[in-house]
Amino acid sequence: MTQSNPFVPASFGGRFWTLSEADEGVVRELAPHLGGDDLLSRLLAPRGIGAAEVETFLNPTLRALFPDPASFQDMIKAAELTLDAIVDGKQVTVFADYDVDGGTSSAILTRYFRAWDREIGLYVPDRLTEGYGPSAEAFRHLKETGADLVITVDCGAAATAALAEAVNIELPVIVIDHHLMGKEPPECAALVNPNRADDTSGQGHLAAAGVVYVFVAALNKVARERGIAPDGGLPDILHWLDLCALGTLCDMSPLRGANRAFVKQGLKILERGQNLGLRALADIAGIGKIESVYHATFVLGPRLNAGGRVGDPWLAAKLLATEDRREAIALAERLHAHNDERKAVEAAILEQASVEAQKQLDANPETGVLIAGGEGWHPGVIGIVAGRLKDRFHLPAIVIGWGQGLGPVAKGSARSVHGVNIGDAISAAAKDGVILSGGGHAMAGGLSLEPDQLQGLKDWMQAHMADFKEERAAAKELKLDALLAPAQVTTETYDKIQTLGPFGQGAPEPVFGLRNVEITHTRPIGENHLKLTVEDTSARIEALVWRCLGTPLGDALLQRGRVHLAGRLKDNEWNGRRTAQFEVIDAAAADTGG
């Protein structure tokens, strides 16, 4: 199916639906590897997984997929320098980004050093006053306070000026990063980044936590070759695979290759609750045990990020590294409180930004980008708001905030749809002098500008985005993996589908269609969610719709009647009884397509 002949041409959510078509030959090849199950074979076939890859896909192991540390440019060099510092008792500081990927990366290194009976220093920049990544001022501060070696994690690869200052003050810096960078690496003691131009590891999809996890394996490798080890033997890095999995999931790294093994095996360790900080955070969040990708990504992740967004940027790294139960509880409580604050700030800004975005669409339905800005809009949440606008309106979105206490200039964050490279657009705007600075990658970007440059940015972006009509139209596609009847929305079907997991970036959870079903009951729940009773002649089921009240989708569903539904199967347990629910992501009138 294509846009010219969609399964559903227009939904309540403003999208068109297509139905995935599986190659029958591939389905037949896959079936024996999937217990002869036709549904699983049809779900897997369009994802490019052939019979030769299916076993590794279903059962990804570290033994089969762990990268060779020596294949990374500078990895062994960085390990040798770090091991020298450990053996010589030098003062080493890890410079970490303030998000989950940075926090997990720093915690892995902290725990590795402790295994050698060494403490590593920690530095996390403040989002408002220092911005992203290392600065010359931060390196000078670390030098003055006695650092002999700095290891940056999840940042640093593009910090050319800061690294030049580090060379100038004779402060050795090892950069461990995964972000895109220029062709010429900056001067430093070692730069480990699978996305540097001369790296041949083929591991550019790793999160920083994944690169750091390979790095501690390299440290063990070098130590083994030298015949040295701490008193308890070389650290067993398997104990920290939970941190690697968490960083990988929260950074939305694609779940293929080594990442798939990191997450599949790391979730098992997360479930054991060995990390005191994560266990405390899970308890305070009300989930008790970390059992799923959802728990890691959407329960723990936002709380760990909350410190860097609206509070103390050091909290997450400290929580993930602590081995003191009382400290873990105290830090977890602070992060939980910051997350509540973040949600309130985000909701207020989202309401204002949504109104502004709708006005832009009403004035120009063919607009190619939504740009909303306001005084007092906190830089720590504008990226989340931009993502919400992108998801709601299926257009690239840029959200900008400025004001007293929020930094010297306005800060913007952008999120894009597939096919429209927002990072390139922002870089071009900076080059043309429309904004002060900015850049990013295809799906996200950041920028700095003076508030009085906002209208000029809107005009420039509208002209630039006019060439992406086909890409914007394609972004409204919702691909259904298969059609189900309500009678198939069962725990048995749910469990069967989970054998294809873990799901995440690059390995999306299957989306199913329920054709021509009747909504017989609706009930608002929470602040803006909706619970439905849905039925046909085969069965009656429950369905949930998140954040829909006050939107065209929510308004249409409240009318009840017959509809097509698109969504995912979810597991629900209440009072010891387990059922499957249908989580609706879109709907369409029953007389539309199908």
Q: DSSP letters along 539-583, please?
A: -EEEEEE-S-TTSHHHHHHTT-EEEEEEEEEEEEEETTEEEEEEE
Write the DSSP string, 22-40: --HHHHHHHGGGGTT-HHH
CB 389 within 8 A of CB 357: yes
Strand partners, 531: 523, 544
CB count in 10 Å sphere of residue 375 = 11
**Strand locations in 91-172 (E):** 92-96, 121-123, 149-153
Q: What is the pLDDT of residue 498?
A: 95
CA distance 339 to 337: 5
Q: What is the pLDDT of residue 1?
A: 39
Per-residue pLDDT tens, the chain, 594 aa: give them: 344 568 899 999 999 999 998 899 999 999 999 999 999 999 999 988 889 999 999 999 999 999 999 999 999 999 999 999 999 999 999 999 999 999 999 999 999 999 999 999 999 998 878 878 899 999 999 999 999 999 999 999 989 999 999 999 999 999 999 988 888 899 999 999 999 999 999 999 999 999 999 999 999 999 999 999 999 999 999 999 999 999 999 999 999 999 999 999 999 999 999 999 999 999 999 998 898 999 999 999 999 999 988 888 999 999 999 999 999 999 999 999 999 999 999 999 999 999 999 999 999 999 999 999 999 999 999 999 999 999 999 999 999 999 877 777 999 999 999 889 998 999 999 999 999 998 888 888 899 999 999 999 999 999 999 988 898 889 999 999 999 999 999 999 999 999 999 999 889 999 999 999 999 999 999 889 999 999 999 899 999 999 999 899 999 999 999 999 999 999 988 888 999 999 999 999 998 877
User: Encoding tokens for residue 521?
Assistant: 């009951």
**Domains of the chain by range and CATH?**
16-20+481-589 (2.40.50.460), 69-337 (3.90.1640.30), 364-474 (3.10.310.30)
CB count in 10 Å sphere of residue 462 = 16
pTM over 0.75: yes
